[in-house]
Structure 1
Amino acid sequence: MLSTHSIQVIKSTVPVLEIHGVTITKRFYELLFSNHPELLNIFNHANQKQGKQQTALANAVYAAALHIDNLAAIIPVVKQIGHKHRSLGVKPEHYPVVGKYLLMAIKEVLGDAATEEIMSAWAEAYGIIADAFISIEKEMYEETRSQAGGWDGFRAFRIDRVVKESEVISSFYLVPEDNRAIASFLPGQYVSVKIKKEGAEYTQIRQYSLSDVSGKPYYRISVKREDAYQERSEGAVSTYLHQCAQEGTTLMLSAPAGDFVLDTADERPVVLLSGGVGLTPMISMLNTLTEHYPSRPVTFIHAAQHGGLHAMRAQVNALAEQHPQLSVHYCYAQPTEEDRQQRHYHKEGYIDLAWLQSVIPGANASYYFCGPTPFMAVINESLQQWGIPQADIHFEFFGPAASLQPVASS
């Protein structure tokens, strides 16, 4: 347990972390990778270049300092990060290395302000927080390894078939090369896909939501080609999958992970909201609800630029025809003439609260949403304005967690 004096010292650094948090984490990653370049094998290089990972870590450090006198308050965040760590293969031996360079970065950035007292308190706090991560992740590793069809680390899967779902999204059906059973998963969970491109020095790992119901002899991931319309360097794995992978290609997969999952014990209506490729976990939830919980009302709302970028519309429409408890609503920002003629959508422009209230039968429901961060911020704000309790609002980020509210650290 952290001493009372150390708690007071840590709390005194909160204002400093507000100002210098991202600077500290940027320097931390520089120190970490220059001294341990092998760890680049487990980090998302694009998130590093864009600064997303640095900001996410800064927010996590800030939250830890803010709640240092009640670390139980950040256990949900520890578990969320723990799922990601388990899917990436982060192990206990990594934590002393991370602690060494995080403390080094704090001291370097704060300079004379980083007194021996402050550094000692942070070293003590880091040890306790690291132990919490290690303990939770140990349970996750054991549970994953011991479950039926489970495995440790990464397992070879073969692409059985590829289905084009839109102009930029394709589904990949993955079967285990050893032909043995595969682990079940909860609707909303993801797998990590690890590749090493020819000539590349390091592996690349990305998480992709599973986009079908559990219990099939395959896993399905539906992947957007990130470089399709934009001149940028990210999307290394998605581009590889779209350009180089084909039927028969081997991919290395982690066992399913993630805590953004459908609460199947809740019998109230469900509202699933998605933007762009954010529909992938929603499709898994939708398929699960219609297949296993046919009495539970579902409202499925999806936003896309236009029909050409709208994946799985035919499948969702077919489900709506078969299941009267399911209603579907589409919002297109820039519908094409064909979209207008074929009436592919229900609203032109962007989702707003007034429209949500017009298509959702009642406020008393459980809400799940995923998509680009600006989309999620609008949905989150709309639901809050409507008075939806925070406990009924569930969302998932693709990549490092950000904030849907104005952030404290910058």
Structure 2
Amino acid sequence: MNTAQKELIKATIPILRTGGEALTAHFYDRMFRHSPELKEVFNMGNQANGKQKMALANAVLAYAENIENPEVLINVLKGIGSKHTSLNIKPEHYKIVGTHLIASIEEVIGHLATSEILEAWTIAYNQLAAIMINLEENIYQENKQKSGGWIGWRKFIIKKIVEESTEIKSFYLYPEDGKSVADYNPGQFVSVQVYVPELDLLQPRQYSLSSAHNSDHYRISVKKESSINDNPAGIVSNTLHSKLEGDSVMLSSPAGIFFHNKESNEPIVLISGGIGITPMLSILETNKIKVEKSKTVWIHSCRNQSVQAFNNDVETIDKDADWLRTFVFYEDIEESELRENVIKGRIDLEICKDSILLDKARYYICGPELFIKAQYNSLLNLNVDKENIFYEEFSPGLINLN
């Protein structure tokens, strides 16, 4: 890409800042009309609530703003690539996306989309696509070479369902072929594909693995998302909650760049809200079975005890673990049930600061968007280095704090 073409890309930045979401909304509408089969690749829930068009608009803008040095986006691209491989994205998908993205730029921007600008964006997109295809091919090969690893979708049987709370069920998933399953780092996720009758579509969703690894099955723990205000009920979570033992689902290989290194012995601080508990429990259980355990602080927040999952599991680990300190915050709890580590209100890291400010500690945050932002900023206010803060967002990449 030459200097003049990069300048043309940068010239479109003001348009992307003000009209990026209109562009991406047009793009998705156009692409799904021409390639309706891609509705089974994309999260149609995020299409309906607008999160996907917002995420793509942010990504296109970030790429334009960093067109001189796209390498600075490499960590973001790795996260996208990891998500793409969990959805079985292939090079041919990039060709379809590119065709409709460039056409959308022309149709939305109108007379401002000169032939030179369209050519520059075509080259820029192809450059980015090449980076992503190469990155994703490496991930596919790594997955294939793992013991028990695979590429694409693999059928799993739900052999056990456990009600963890009034909202959350755990699903124990065993491969139909009876072979072993791939190892993973605690904190990673799998994509689950199910048929949704209401949409007459297969739909994929990502769910964190909620236990330490074992070689014969995976466990995911899913919150049944109810309709709140303008947000519709979670179509996939509700479909999963209607499943019975013996039913099957399709799974991709474990993926994700949010994880704790199992070999590390540095202190761990785990901060979760609601269903964000799932990757944290995987990290905690993995640490429990290590010979040399890392000092760990567990901080969890939820509305009340009825919706909290895994409280007994964590208390059981805590009972005999001198390496673990726990804090639980409830928005609604009787005064008589409060004790030193059970606190009324939302998470306040000031209360825990004497326990969490540990030398060389790594801080992991998972929960809703506003929760992540609040805890991230609280850690910064406690002078925690942002390089030691990691977060997982259960939505299509709307947060960019690092």
1:67 maps onto 2:66 in alignment:
yes
The aligned residue for residue 34 of structure 2 is 35
User: How far is 1:135 from its partner?
Assistant: 0.6
Select which of 383, 386, 392 maps to 1:387. Answer: 383
Choose from 304, 308, 311 the match for 1:310.
Answer: 308
Partner of 2:91: helix, strand, or coil? coil
Q: For the Cα contact (< 8 Å) 2:301–2:347, is it kept in 1?
A: yes
Q: TM-score, normalised to structure 1's length?
A: 0.94
Q: Distance in 1 between matches of 2:357 and 2:392?
A: 24
- Which amino acid is 1:179 matched to? G
| Paired letter, 2:386 | Q
Does the aligned pair in 2 maintain the 1:211–1:281 contact within 8 Å?
Answer: yes
2:373 alignment partner in structure 1: 377
Letter in 2 for 1:217: D
Q: Supply the distance in 1 between the matched residues of 2:228 and 2:71 (Cα, whole angstroms).
A: 43
Query: Equivalent residue for 2:111?
Result: 112
Gaps of at least 5 residues in structure 1 are none
Q: Tell me the TM-score normalized by structure 2.
A: 0.95
Q: Secondary structure at the match of 2:213?
A: coil
Residues 257-298 of structure 1: CA deviation (Å, up to 9, x unaligned)? 111010334432110000000000000011111211543100
* Structure 1: distance between partners of 2:115 and 2:12: 13
2:201 is paired with a residue whose SS is: coil
Report the equivalent of 1:154. 153
Q: Which runs of 4+ in 1 moved over 6 A?
A: 228-231
Give the superposition deviation at 1:233.
2.9
Partner of 1:255: 253
2:361 to 358, 365, 368: 365
Residues 191-227 of structure 1, C-alpha deviations (whole Å, 9 max, x = no match): 1111113474311111100000112421000000012
Deviation digits for residues 71-103 of structure 1, max 9, x if unmatched? 111111111111111111111001111011111
Instruction: Give the alignment partner of residue 325 of structure 2, picking from 304, 324, 327.
Output: 327
Matched-pair contact (CA < 8 Å) for 1:168–1:228: no
**1:137 & 1:55 partners in 2: Cα distance?**
23
Given the alignment of the two structures, is residue 15 of structure 1 paired with residue 20 of structure 2, yes or no? no
The 1-side partners of 2:16 and 2:228 are apart by: 37
TM-fit CA distance, 1:231: 7.8
Summarize the Cα distance change of 1:200–1:17 in structure 2 as closer, same or farther, 3 Å threshold.
closer
- Unaligned 5+ runs, structure 2: none
Alpha-carbon distance in structure 2 between the residues aligned to 1:308 and 1:218: 28
Query: 1:291 is matched by which residue type in structure 2?
Result: I
Mapped to 2, the partners of 1:271 and 1:342 lie a distance apart of 22
Corresponding residue number in structure 2 for 1:135: 134
Q: How many corresponding residue pairs? A: 402
What fraction of aligned residue pairs are identical, expressed as a percent?
39
Does the 8 Å CA contact 2:185/2:262 hold for their aligned counterparts? no
Residues 197 and 46 of structure 1, relative CA distance in 2, 3 Å threshold = closer
Matched position secondary structure for 2:255: coil
What residue in structure 2 maps to residue 223 of structure 1?
222
Shift of residue 146, structure 1, vs aligned partner: 2.2
CA distance in 2, matches of 1:240, 1:230: 20
Do 1:376 and 1:404's aligned partners in 2 also have CA atoms closer than 8 Å?
no
1: CA distance, partners of 2:332 / 2:51: 29
Give me the CA root mean square deviation. Answer: 1.9
Distance in structure 2 (CA, Å) of the matches to 1:350 and 1:253? 35
**CA distance in structure 1 between the aligned counterparts of 2:11 and 2:202, rounded to whole angstroms:** 40
The separation in 2 between residues aligned to 1:317 and 1:310, in whole angstroms, is: 13
Report SS of the residue matched to 1:166. coil
Which 10-residue stretch deviates more, 382-391 or 46-55?
382-391
8 Å contact from structure 2 (residues 49, 231) kept in 1: no
